[in-house]
């Protein structure tokens, strides 16, 4: 004879698996890697530094 199955647990595990599969699919479709995020952050900092260096002081201009 087979072991009894807890249907609530089975239903919840199936829902969790479906949610995880959808999340993984969205991460591949829309996500960026950690290296890409770091590179973009570094570019933003570099551009901001460059703009700050080229600002003119209103008193001396």
Rg (alpha carbons) of the chain, rounded to whole number:
26
pLDDT at residue 2 in the model = 87
- CA gap 33, 36 in Å, rounded: 5
Q: At 61, is the pLDDT very low, low, confident or very high (cuts 50, 70, 90)? A: low
Q: What is the DSSP string of 34-55?
A: HHHHHHHHHHHHHHHHHHHHTP
pLDDT at residue 38 in the model = 95
Model pLDDT for residues 2-52, shown as the tens digit of each residue: 898 899 999 999 999 999 999 999 988 888 888 999 999 999 999 999 999
pLDDT at residue 11 in the model = 97
pTM of the entire structure? 0.48
- CA gap 30, 49 in Å, rounded: 29
């Amino acid at each position: 004879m087979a072991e009894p199955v807890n249907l609530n647990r089975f239903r919840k595990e199936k829902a969790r698996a479906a949610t995880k599969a959808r999340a993984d699919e969205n991460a591949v479709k829309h996500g960026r890697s950690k290296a890409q995020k770091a590179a973009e952050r570094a570019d933003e900092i570099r551009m901001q530094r460059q703009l700050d260096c080229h600002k003119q002081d209103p008193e001396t201009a």
